[in-house]
Amino acid sequence: MHYEVYHSYSAEDAAPVFPGILAKLAKVLALSGIFLIIISFLPSVWYSIKSNGGFKISELIALTAKKSAEKSTPVVSKESDYQPGYDPKLPAENRLKIISAGIDTPIREATIDNSEGALKKGVWRVSDFGTPYSREKPAILAAHRYGYLAWSIPYRLKNSFYNLPKLKVGDTVEIVWRQRKYMYEVYAESKGEEITDYSASLILYTCESLNSPVRIFKYARLIKI
């Protein structure tokens, strides 16, 4: 005689399976997070090691500025001397904001020879060139692409030019300068060792990679608001 045995499974029987799956998933996510953090910090670690050995990427950024300052630069059109209105509600601190690149940072002032101190904090205005208010020459802003090991990831994303490549032609750039809001529209971009267009109202640049002389340049014109 053949007997069929039936066994009914309850939720309690299956329960041990789910904690095991969740534990494995948690491990995978944790390892993925660690991997992303390591990848993000590797350039900073490499930079710190090279800096201790006498190699400073800040010097390469400043060198680009020096080459630009040595050139005969044309006068930028003042666009009928347009100036946006003074607004006491705006921050007293000069600031740069690029929504498309997630940048929102103070603009640091320093001479070319002392630029490293400014670059250690974030965005540096090249002193030998113009300002948003005074436009005989273009305003030039530079920053590290990867920054320093001491920087947190959120600080790096807001204060460096890590995401400058995300700034595309047609995007806008906002600068608050002496409590006036200046708006610019990007009209061109390039890669190379030197600035190629001095007719821009605003030029932004950073390193393409850590030890390469190649720079990423963004060129923008002042627009009326």
Domains of the chain are 56-223 (2.40.260.10)
DSSP 135-187: -SS-EEEE--SS--TTS-HHHHHHHSSTTGGG--TT-EEEEEETTEEEEEEEE
Nearest to 139, CA basis, from 102, 86, 94: 94
Q: Residue 225: its pLDDT value, please? A: 86
Note the pTM of the prediction, 2 decimals.
0.73
Residues whose CB falls within 8 Å of the CB of residue 99, separated by 6 or more in sequence, listed in order? 171, 172, 174
Q: Residue 203: its pLDDT value, please? A: 96
Low-confidence ranges of the chain (pLDDT < 50): 3, 5-7, 9, 11, 14, 33, 36-42, 44-55, 72
Q: Residue 39: its pLDDT value, please? A: 47
Q: Dihedral (C-alpha) 176, 180, 181, 185: value to the nearest 10 degrees?
A: -90
172: tokens are 């806008």
Q: Residue 64: its pLDDT value, please? A: 76
- Residue in the block written with tokens 């006036």: 180
- Residue 45, amino acid: V
